[in-house]
Structure formats: structure tokens, C-alpha cells
Amino acid sequence: MPSILITGASSGLGAEMARQFAARGYDLALCARRLERLEELRAEIGAAHPQVRVEVRALDVNDHDAVFSTFEELASTLGRLDRIVVNAGLGKGAPLGTGRFDANLETAMTNFVGALAQTEAAMTVFRAQEAGHLVMVSSMSAMRGMPKTMTTYAATKAGVAHLAEGIRTELAGRPLGRTVKVSVLYPGYIASEMNDGVEGSTPLMVSTEKGVRAMVSAIEKEVADACVPSLPWSVLAPVMKHAPLPLFKRLI
């Protein structure tokens, strides 16, 4: 069976990815801070798909040494890791200069530095295996600098996309580039714990199940990048990038 490691797997998009990949026959390596939630998810998946192996590990992605040791240990335990999904993240934030540097710093450290550690650890595994698929979960907010509480979050999501794209550029034309694939996903509004407060304010929100189905499909196709779900986000992406600032502010 193919194997996949997913961080931030205790809830939201990560947990639903675990369910959907289990249904496709993947062995799972699930990591998150809340081990009790992972244990509940393992029991749920085990009941629905008893043939699937599910390994769970408590992991705070801000403990960088633990990221490396956990990824290495899970690769050894499962025999290999075919895919690694860098998904763990925070949505905290405040307008810059309003006295909440603590919230912005926590988001920056988790979403970018924590993702950097995960990416380094993943590529260490893939270079040793000479194969693998790195999946970076970015955000549609990475398309453009965002205002207010979203400023730092959007910047971190642009940063992680560039990490992945930099690796793809490095591997292009090299033998390893044929066996190590890199994908960046840009989710739009998908219902999850992180955006509970947004759900009632936008008609563009889709259910967790539907949104993750689009993510899983893109991952299995090993696309270089994908706005998910494709409609309306693949259409809105160039508008978000290039609209004049006054129009962009009205859109968001």
C-alpha cells in the first residue's frame, strides 16, 4: 500500500485528508499536537478500513528536532513515506502595529518556520529514498498581500509556496526531479476549525468533505499547483493577483 504522512491531522483539513486517503487504501502516518484526537481518528479509520495501517504521533511543529526525528522514525516504521503533506498551521493574527506582535509571531513561527522544518525533514527522507511527493498546503490568501488580521498569515502562506517552488526549480532537469514531485495547494474557503468565524459571511465556503476531495484529487494527480476547489478559485486567482488595489479591496 502507498503511505502518506499528514501533519496537523487532528482536525479540519488534515483529519479529513486522512479519512479520504484511508478510503483510497493508503497507510497513514498522522501527526498533531493533540494525541487524544489522533487516537480517536485512528479508531474511526480502523473501524471503517481495517486493512489500513494508521500510525499516530504527537508532534508540535515548532519543536524542530522532534519534526526531524518523527519523520525519520515514521519512514522507518512504515518502510517508506511516499507522500508527505505539510499541513499544520495557525490562523492567528492582528493588524501590524496594534500591539499584538505575539499573535503574529506565533503564526509566523508555526506557519513558516515550522513548515520549513517539515519541508527539510521531508526532503531528507525523499533524498534518502530517491523518491517521494512533497505536498505544501498554502492558501488562496498567498496570491496577494492581505489586510488586517490576515497580513501575517497570508505572508506565511506565500512563503511556504515559494519554499516548495524553489525545491521544484532545483530538481528540474536532474535525475531526482523525475522521482521526487512537488505540489502546492491553494485552498479557498473550506470549512474547518480555523475559519469557523468566516462560514456565515461568505457564499464561497464549501464543506470540509467537498473541499478536501478536491485537494486529494490534486495530490493524486501530482499537479505542480492547484487552486482548490478549482471553481471558483482558479478563475479568481488571476483577478486576486492583478486587480487594481481599490477593486481588490472591495473583492475581499
Report the amino acid identity of residue 28. L
Residue 193 confidence (pLDDT): 72
Band of pLDDT at residue 246, cut at 50, 70 and 90: confident
Select the more confidently predicted residue: 200 or 183: 183
pTM of the complete model: 0.95
Strand arrangement, sheet containing 132-137: 54-58, 27-32, 3-7, 83-86, 132-137, 180-187, 225-228
How confident is the model at residue 196, as a pLDDT?
A: 60
The predicted pLDDT at position 132 comes to: 98
pLDDT at 51: 97
Please report the beta strands in the chain, taking only residues with DSSP state E, as ranges in sequence order. 3-7, 27-32, 54-58, 83-86, 132-137, 180-187, 225-228
Contact 75, 4 (CB under 8 A): no
Collapse the DSSP code of 93 into the 3-class scheme (helix H, G, I; strand E, B; otherwise coil) and give the result.
coil
Run of H or E residues at 234: helix 230-242
- Percentage of the residues of the chain whose pLDDT score is greater than 70: 96
- Summarize pLDDT for 152-169 with one digit per residue, the tens: 999 999 999 999 999 999
Q: Is 26 labeled as catalytic in the residue annotation?
A: no
Q: How confident is the model over 128-147, as a mean pLDDT?
A: 97
Q: Which domains does the chain have, with CATH numbers?
A: 3-251 (3.40.50.720)
Digit-coded pLDDT (tens) for 84-121: 999 999 999 999 999 999 999 999 999 999 999 999 99
